[in-house]
Amino acid sequence: MKELTRIVCDLPVPETEPQRQFYYMDIAKQYVHQLEGKKGRKLTFHVSTFGCQMNARDSEKLVGILENIGYVETDTEEADFVIYNTCTVRENANNKVYGRLGYLNGFKKKNRDMMIALCGCMMQEEKVVEKIKSSYRFVDLIFGTHNIYKFAELLVNALEADSMVVDVWDDTDKIVEDLPIERKYSFKSGVNIMFGCNNFCSYCIVPYVRGRERSREPRDIIREIEQLVADGVVEVMLLGQNVNSYGKNLEHPVTFAELLQEVEKIEGLERIRFMTSHPKDLSDELIEVLKHSKKICKHLHLPLQSGSSRLLKIMNRHYTKEQYLALVEKIRAAVPDIAITTDIIVGFPGETEEDFLETMDVVEQVRYDSAFTFIYSKRTGTPAAQMEEQVPEEIVKQRFERLLERVQTIAGEKAEKLTGSVEEVLIENINEQDSHLVTGRLSNNSVVHLPGTADMIGKLVLVRLTECKGFYYLGEVVE
Ligand code: 5AD
Ligand code: SF4
């Protein structure tokens, strides 16, 4: 207990959620109040997010609770409460966390009441938790991906405890609705439609750390989006590891295409995005919906991973190079101006020059609007980690460079084609380098900078793209 007077509440602890968490938020508020009295100032917090959009959305949930109980956000890690929401998809994500933890300890030495918490995917790995318990003993709280909804309760446990509180679950079938969330942007928001992944691609740790696939009920999703729209949101990003298999396991199954049609009907919502689509589950029904939708953005992220059918089989991706190419053709026939982006892994165990050339061939044929390229990272516990024939680092690096060069050149050529056209742009923020400019996004997800002012943020405006700078455009509002 951090020199605090224990709060004793006469009411029984509610068994049901989210009531139980609101009960703990009340207790937490009283502890925060005590600490404020002791310090003679408000308490501050900082949430650092690593990894994907799922984590970004989870962080908004953490912020929602911290603000509810009285902490004030600060942009430095020299804060009273610091939490790292971690990622473990590749090894370098883990290393970053260890590096920064050492530096946090310096702050804690100066502020003995400081609390340090770790959560997210990395914490689902037993060996990580062991390492933190033995080498980073100054950490106050560790929890995982399945019990993030319990954050208020865990925070109270950590405030009351004398040693590190660790609560990591292997899996859950629970989805808790209606907890506070503080959005990073007022006009756009991520919306979880499902959690977890059942695909077990052989290189990927996500199914082990995010658990089995669970879909939210359509009515909960629609209600959340309606509330967001009432609160000023014009763009939503529907989030799931594999949105194309949404709804299959619901009591009354619903397809992703059906969900999209329902979301489309929400008045006041202007743009719909979604992430991520697995090629094996992308249905004709979805393509039809994309074709007729007025709100779904002209952007599809369709991870390829490899162009070699031989490797795709070992990766457990359930499609061949030919099937992937046919799918792209079908999508483009239906929605000619759609931007297609992808993820590609280089250096998967046993990747030969021929396999790599197959990947390059898909890149040439599809001509992606942009691509995230990754060097294969061995994740303990995945089938690929057991595979011998790991590709020598030097060869992987060379292939990575070759791939990157082609991906960037093609992306630049494709972007150039839109120069001179007028596009609808959602203005997102004041430009970080030049405050006379604002930055916005096209439907196809490209970025444009244009002269503008803060009152344009969150608005859709027509912009002429005057110049293409490769990865982004310069533009001007069309009066
Ligand atoms: N090594 C490299 N990249 C990986 N990804 C997932 N697991 C690994 C790994 N072990 C990439 C995939 C996925 C993206 C989110 O991260 O390309 O689509
Ligand atoms: Fe990982 Fe494959 Fe699931 Fe994506 S679909 S999260 S790559 S296992």
Closest CA to 403 of 352, 349, 362, 445: 362
Closest CA to 450 of 428, 458, 96, 470: 428
Question: Taking a C-beta distance cutoff of 8 angstroms, is the pair 190, 236 a contact?
Answer: yes
Mutate to test the pocket of ligand 1, among 52, 91, 203 (most ligand atoms within 8 A of CB): 203
Phi and psi of 338, rounded to 5°? Answer: -75, 135
Question: Taking a C-beta distance cutoff of 8 angstroms, is the pair 301, 277 a contact?
Answer: yes
Is the beta carbon of 207 within 6 A of some atom in ligand 2? yes
* Distance (Å) from CA 205 to ligand 2 centroid: 8
Mutate to test the pocket of ligand 1, among 343, 348, 400 (most ligand atoms within 8 A of CB): 343
8-state DSSP, 296: B
Is the beta carbon of 244 within 6 A of some atom in ligand 2? no
- What's this model's pTM, rounded to 2 decimal places? 0.93
* Distance (Å) from CA 55 to ligand 2 centroid: 15
Q: Which atom from ligand 2 is nearest to the alpha carbon of 210?
A: 6
pLDDT at 2: 65
For the CA atoms of 360, 362, 364, 366, the dihedral, rounded to the nearest 10 degrees, stands at -150
Q: In one letter, which amino acid is 19?
A: Q
What is the separation of C-alpha 375 from the centre of its chain, rounded to a whole number of angstroms?
20
Mutate to test the pocket of ligand 2, among 201, 210, 243, 278 (most ligand atoms within 8 A of CB): 201
Question: Taking a C-beta distance cutoff of 8 angstroms, is the pair 406, 262 a contact?
Answer: no
Which residues are 123's β-sheet partners?
none
Q: In one letter, which amino acid is 41?
A: R
pLDDT at 199: 94
Tokens encoding 361: 């061939």
Tokens encoding 59: 């962080």
* Distance (Å) from CA 241 to ligand 2 centroid: 6
Output the CA torsion sign for 397, 399, 405, 407: negative
Ligand 1 neighbours, Cβ below 6 Å, are 89-90, 203-204, 303, 305, 343, 345, 374, 376-377, 379
For the CA atoms of 135, 141, 146, 147, the dihedral, rounded to the nearest 10 degrees, stands at 160
Is the beta carbon of 471 within 6 A of some atom in ligand 2? no
* Distance (Å) from CA 170 to ligand 2 centroid: 18
Rounded CA-CA distance 102/136 in Å is 8
Pairing mode of beta strands 447-451, 472-477: parallel
Average pLDDT per consecutive 10 residues, the chain (479 residues; last block may be shorter): 77 92 96 94 97 93 96 96 96 89 93 95 95 96 95 96 93 84 93 95 95 95 97 97 95 97 98 96 97 97 98 98 98 97 98 98 98 95 91 96 97 96 97 94 97 96 96 93
* Distance (Å) from CA 316 to ligand 2 centroid: 10
Count of alpha carbons within 13 Å of 83, Cβ hemisphere only? 29
Q: Which atom from ligand 1 is nearest to the alpha carbon of 52?
A: 15
pLDDT at 179: 87
**Rg of the chain (C-alpha set):** 24
Question: Taking a C-beta distance cutoff of 8 angstroms, is the pair 369, 414 a contact?
Answer: yes
pLDDT at 343: 98
- Of all ligands present, the nearest one to the C-alpha of 348 is 1
pLDDT at 152: 97
